[in-house]
Amino acid sequence: MRLKDKIAIVTGGASGIGKAISDLFAAEGAAVVLADKNEDAIPEAVESIKQAGGRASGSAVDVTQRDQLAEFMDKVVAQYGRIDILINNAGVSRYRPFATTTSEDWDIVLDVDLKGVFFCTQAVAPHMVRQNYGRVVNISSALGTGAAPHKTAGSPGGSAAYASAKAGVIMLTKTLARELGPSGVTVNCIAPGSFLTPFSASTRTPEEVQEHLQHRKSTVVLGRLGTLQELAAPVLFFASDDSSYVTGHTLFVDGGRSDRM
């Protein structure tokens, strides 16, 4: 087991990508804390891990609330004695054409997708620095590396806010790797391509989802969408000691997005 007896926090851990990561980490021996704003989804997600023989607990957490995050990290340390791994996965999207993007659209995306990564890492860093060990993995996006057209391929609007936030996550990863590296903490990033998750349908009709997914298949060298397990596995690499000499790196897990190559 690559994470035997490690304590891991996964934000947005109760569904989609976060749940796949939580499941894999628990299977690899970690005690997983699912931190999610969707409080109703937490009990079922935790129970499914326990039913599979893993260790898990959950907590309702809003990654945009700095004071709440500091209290949450303190509680995890009080319960488990340490925090070894933080996966910054929580995210939202508001696809809007640039001309009609509102301040509210911009703020919610930047607050959750970028500021949330900063706040969560800032809250966990003192605990990791104190123990001279830590693994932080940030979830960015292929949209953080290149623009995509809007109102095409099942995308209802532009991605200015989302792409800006995810690009920021990549640069934040590099700067945090520099600051925390001397204290034994690695900070790396995953940039996913196209995966079918509840997130895919958050701003699309069922017809738009299918159009979007078919288009994305056509832009991928491997000719198919990825599975959540194929995304969780590279996250495990960064969270484990297999990557002990890797930091500040962004790994594209996108099946070879031809429009990004």
Q: Which residues are catalytic?
A: 162
Instruction: Give the whole-angstrom CA distance, residue 46 versus residue 60.
Output: 12
* Start-to-end C-alpha separation, the chain: 35
Longest pairwise C-alpha distance within the chain: 50
> What's the half-sphere exposure (Cβ side, CA atoms, 13 Å) at 63?
32
State how far the alpha carbon of 104 is from the alpha carbons of 70, 109, 111, in Å.
25, 9, 10
User: In sequence order, what are the residues at sequence separation of 6 or more whose Cβ sits closer than 8 angstroms to the Cβ of residue 234?
Assistant: 190, 251, 253
